[in-house]
Amino acid sequence: MLRLETSLESWLSTQPEYRMGYQKVIAKLNTGETESGIVVNSEVFLRTGERPWEMFYPDWSTVVNEAGKSSRRVVNAELIPREPETLRGVRQIALDNGKFRVLANRKSVLANFSGGAERLEYLLESRRLSLMAANAAAELAPITLTEAAEIFRRFCAYAKDRRITPGRGVTPGTFATTKEDADANVKTGIDAVARYALADSKPASNVFTISPAKDTELKRGTVQPANNQLGGGVEVIFVNGLPDGTVTGPVLIPDR
């Protein structure tokens, strides 16, 4: 495991993923060597064949620290794009963060052609714009409408989730995920913490089911890395909340 140069981290954060949470690259190291592997979360390089970090370390910050202990660093990377045929069936989710990604990329390019304080300034600006792009995931996405009989899930560490109203609706601005994403990827409360980058590290083992009416307004996006979690799940925001009688549960799933 190796860390990346800061400017490379900024650039990678603006580039497409190979699959959820990582990019496949040919990495050039500060020693002059070239190695193939993946970059996870735009921060840590794992050589091809290296065991997944989850097998050894309890959390992402430990991984980053461990990777930083090596004097070897990745100074450049060539992205390996995913084969177009493997993208069939991947749902395209409209995001409104493209503007920030483009601007971040431009600043990153400018940084590559600058030096000293100017370079640092461009890098910081690029990082800030990348963060805005990431944070824009669902928040700045355009408002869309639910389909007929579309179902959503909400994971919570608490059985008494305060976003659920006494009449079993939800308050405006409440986050959830799609049934498809939850059912396919989350089997435990800890799974939910990682996939939806939850701030509370306690297992989110209480699962609420949300059944809004057709044409309910919501925003859709992808959970960006946050709170030392990789994210990657689908997130939705019920912009105006939901009326009484739309929520059932919670059903308990295993913590781990």
Partner 1 sequence: MITVRLSESWSQRLVQMPESGMGYQRVDVLLKDGRLIKNVMVLNAEECQTSEPFDPADIADIALSRSMGKG
Residues at the site binding partner 1, with contacts judged by CB under 8 A: 131-132, 134-135, 139, 154-158, 160-163, 171-177, 196-200, 204, 223-227, 235, 237
Q: Least distance from C-beta 94 to partner 1, angstroms?
A: 19
Nearer to partner 1, 26 or 184 (CB): 184
Nearer to partner 1, 87 or 159 (CB): 159
Angle at 14 between CA 9 and CA 20, to 5 degrees: 90
Nearer to partner 1, 25 or 193 (CB): 193
Angle at 202 between CA 164 and CA 200, to 5 degrees: 65
Nearer to partner 1, 8 or 138 (CB): 138
CA atoms of 191 and 193, how far apart (whole Å): 6
Q: Least distance from C-beta 198 to partner 1, angstroms?
A: 6
Nearer to partner 1, 47 or 187 (CB): 187
Q: Least distance from C-beta 83 to partner 1, angstroms?
A: 31
CB contact burial 36-67 (16+ within 10 A = b; e otherwise): ebbbbbbbbbbeeeeeebeeebeebeebbeeb
Q: Are 96 and 31 in contact (CB under 8 A)?
A: no
Q: Least distance from C-beta 138 to partner 1, angstroms?
A: 9
**Smallest Cα–Cα separation from 40: which of 19, 55, 56, 26?**
19
The tokens for 11 are 């650039």
Q: Least distance from C-beta 49 to partner 1, angstroms?
A: 31
Q: Are 244 and 186 in contact (CB under 8 A)?
A: no
Q: Least distance from C-beta 135 to partner 1, angstroms?
A: 3
Nearer to partner 1, 91 or 162 (CB): 162
Q: Least distance from C-beta 157 to partner 1, angstroms?
A: 7
Nearer to partner 1, 13 or 27 (CB): 13
Strand ranges for 166-233 from DSSP E: 174-178, 206-210, 217-222
**Smallest Cα–Cα separation from 96: which of 222, 238, 234?**
222
Q: Are 207 and 142 in contact (CB under 8 A)?
A: no
